[in-house]
């Protein structure tokens, strides 16, 4: 769908001057750092969620923090909205540009500024690829724990914006658990540091507020990340089950026994079919579901818990269990899971990658409900998810060339999020709200909840210029009194915002 985003609210008395902003950017930045040609800026019209597209008015490609600061300051001076973008792999339209604004792309800021092994940390620019941090630290016996499926291409700056997780977040947590500090350009063009070299700092947790804020509080220019020691032992198991019910029961049994695997991933029959066609991963034939379970840590502990996991899988109906004998076999087991999202393109012309969270114990019930939604609507759904923490990634399949197919797929996708909320879960686990899920925020939060969150946003960005139109269903006018609004929101009345 072609997005036609409205102009954001600006400071009282201020009006957007896009031409003046671009002219100032030409003076402040090197020639190659600013793109305004219509065909060239079209390259950046969407992120990984290609159903939302907007061609930005201008694109800035900074190579250092000072150029980012200059770009943001120019936007602030002229009242022009701006959006930050990393590798463009996001799946919630969080980096969707503004037709009346500037897109700041940090992909050229890809230096690892410091590798401080003695203090178990590294300082990186936002464009550094996630996996490259581990590659740099690995010779020293360390690694960077967050591992999204897109870790070969996604940037650390994007991980910070979305608070990305990955397969191993069950044991190691999300990006927020592995960031000590960020250097940020605030919405008015000031360069500040949040956090510090110490693992804990006194005062309000502004670093925690920034991580996962989806680019609405500022633009990150460097990140200090924690490095972990590479585990002594790693064991990976692949188990085939007749259905997701048995696989889910095995997961519950494993966790209930006090075992905390590094990762527990599940795929259903349809996603297995896609992975086999794409990468020939050799998963158990005829499986209605597979579990990928990985344990790491001291060798004696891994061997003991590995035996327990094997037993729980066998007791709950696994008809085939394999273990990786070496790193090559481990990589092949993970190849099927890591390729699952892209692999679905082999069996469907179009698909929606959804992201929701439910309590782990609700897995069987929710998966059955998703199957019922699929049967009733005629829309196929492939399920791939982090089973250990209940983070679902249903893949809703459709053919956009068929009349009404897109609408039916979007309806099923929304109904899945409703299921998550009904179970006490969340509309997103790691992909973010972006522009795609703003309409569901009111299902999960009260008006007062949203008011409080928007007050935080206004404290960072009073002018409402920083990635406007994302996360919140209706923008708050900074300075507006909190509480229930009576009557139509003025931005809605003016046709500048939607109210869900």
Domains of the chain: 18-105 (3.30.43.10), 113-229 (3.30.465.10), 231-345 (3.30.70.2190), 348-432 (3.30.70.2740)
Task: Give me the half-sphere count of Cα atoms (radius 13 Å) on the Cβ side of residue 479.
Answer: 7
Query: How many beta carbons lie within 10 A of that of residue 301, not counting itself?
Result: 14
* In the predicted structure, residue 357 carries a pLDDT above the cut 70: yes
Tell which residue, 216, 172, 249, 203, has the closest CA to residue 470. 216
Residue range 369-392: average pLDDT? Answer: 95
DSSP 8-state class, residue 105: E
Residue 478, class by beta-carbon neighbours within 10 Å (0-12 exposed, 13-18 middle, 19+ buried)? middle
Average pLDDT of span 266-288: 95
Pairing of strands 350-353, 356-357: unpaired
Rounded average pLDDT over 396-425: 96
Give the model's pLDDT for residue 300: 97
The candidate with the shortest Cα–Cα distance to 351, out of 151, 166, 91, is 91
Q: What is the pTM of this model?
A: 0.90
Tokens of 247: 């696989």
Mean pLDDT to the nearest integer, 200-227: 95
* Eight-class DSSP state of 500: -
**14-60 residue pLDDT tens:** 468 999 999 999 999 999 999 999 999 999 999 999 989 999 999 99
Length reported for the chain? 500
**Confidence at residue 6, expressed as pLDDT on a 0 to 100 scale:** 40
- The DSSP output letter for 309 is H
Given CA atoms 101, 44, 32, 129 in this order, what sign does their dihedral have?
Answer: positive
> Which residue intervals of 217-325 are DSSP H helices?
244-256, 269-279, 299-315
Q: How far apart are CA 59 and CA 37, in angstroms?
A: 9
**Mean pLDDT, range 141-149, rounded to an integer:** 96
Beta bridge partners of 236: 294
User: Which are the contacts of 167, defined by CB distance < 8 A and separation ≥ 6?
Assistant: 147, 149, 263, 265, 292, 294, 334, 337, 338, 386
Predicted local distance difference test score (pLDDT) of residue 202 = 84
Q: What is the per-residue pLDDT for 189?
A: 97
Confidence grade of residue 474 (pLDDT, cut at 50, 70, 90):
confident
pLDDT higher than threshold 70 for residue 250: yes
Indicate whether 69 pLDDT > 70.
Answer: yes
DSSP code, position 298: S
The least confident of 3-17, 22-36, 214-228, 269-283 is 3-17
pLDDT at 318: 98
User: Tokens representing 6?
Assistant: 């409205």
Residue 281, pLDDT above cutoff 50 = yes
> Residues 290-337: pLDDT tens digits?
999 999 999 999 999 999 999 999 999 999 999 999 999 999 999 999
Mean pLDDT of 95-109: 98
Contact present, 397 and 409 (Cβ < 8 Å): yes
Torsion angles phi and psi, residue 202, rounded to 5: -75, 165
Q: How confident is the model at residue 495 (pLDDT cuts 50, 70, 90)?
A: very low
């Amino acid at each position: 769908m072609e997005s036609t985003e409205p102009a954001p609210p600006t400071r009282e008395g201020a009006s957007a001057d896009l031409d003046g902003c671009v002219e100032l950017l030409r003076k402040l930045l090197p020639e190659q750092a600013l793109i305004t040609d219509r065909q060239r800026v079209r390259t950046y019209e969407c992120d990984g969620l290609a159903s939302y597209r907007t061609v930005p008015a201008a694109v800035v490609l900074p190579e250092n923090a000072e150029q980012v600061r200059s770009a943001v300051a120019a936007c602030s001076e002229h009242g022009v909205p701006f959006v930050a973008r990393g590798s463009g792999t996001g799946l919630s339209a969080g980096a969707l540009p503004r037709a009346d604004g500037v897109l700041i792309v940090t992909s050229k800021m890809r230096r690892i500024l410091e590798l401080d092994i003695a203090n178990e940390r590294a300082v990186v620019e936002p464009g550094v690829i996630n996996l490259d941090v581990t590659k740099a630290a690995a010779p020293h016996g360390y690694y960077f724990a967050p591992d999204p499926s897109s870790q070969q291409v996604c940037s650390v700056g994007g991980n910070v914006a979305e608070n990305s997780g990955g397969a191993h977040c069950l044991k190691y947590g999300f990006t927020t658990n592995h960031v000590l500090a960020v250097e940020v350009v605030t919405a008015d063009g000031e360069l500040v540091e949040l956090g510090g070299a110490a693992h804990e700092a006194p005062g309000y947790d502004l670093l925690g507020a920034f991580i996962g804020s989806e680019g609405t509080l500022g633009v990150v220019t460097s990140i200090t990340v924690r490095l972990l020691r590479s585990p002594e032992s790693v064991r990976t198991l692949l188990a085939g089950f007749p259905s997701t019910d048995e696989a889910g029961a095995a997961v519950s049994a494993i966790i209930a026994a006090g075992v905390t695997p590094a990762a527990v991933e599940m795929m259903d029959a349809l996603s297995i079919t896609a992975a086999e066609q794409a990468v020939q991963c050799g998963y158990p034939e005829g499986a209605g579901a597979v579990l990928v379970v990985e344990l790491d840590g001291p060798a004696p502990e891994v061997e003991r818990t590995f035996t327990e996991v094997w037993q729980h899988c066998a007791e709950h109906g696994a008809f085939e269990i394999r273990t990786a004998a070496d790193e090559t076999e481990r990589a092949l087991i993970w190849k099927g899971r890591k390729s699952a999202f892209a692999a679905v393109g082999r069996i469907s012309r179009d698909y929606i990658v959804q992201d929701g969270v439910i309590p782990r114990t609700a897995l069987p019930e929710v998966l059955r409900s998703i199957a019922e939604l699929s049967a009733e609507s005629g829309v196929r759904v492939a399920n791939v998810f982090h089973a250990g923490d209940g983070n679902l990634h249903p893949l809703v399949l459709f053919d956009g060339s068929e009349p009404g197919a897109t609408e039916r797929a979007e309806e099923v996708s929304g109904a899945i999020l409703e299921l998550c909320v009904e179970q006490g879960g969340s509309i997103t686990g790691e992909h973010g709200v972006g522009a795609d899920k703003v309409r569901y925020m009111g299902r999960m939060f009260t008006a007062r909840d949203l008011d409080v969150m928007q007050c935080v946003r206004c404290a960072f960005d009073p002018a409402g210029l920083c990635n406007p139109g994302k996360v919140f269903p209706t923008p708050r006018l900074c300075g507006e009194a909190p509480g229930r609004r009576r009557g139509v929101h003025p931005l809605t009345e003016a046709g500048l915002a939607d109210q869900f």
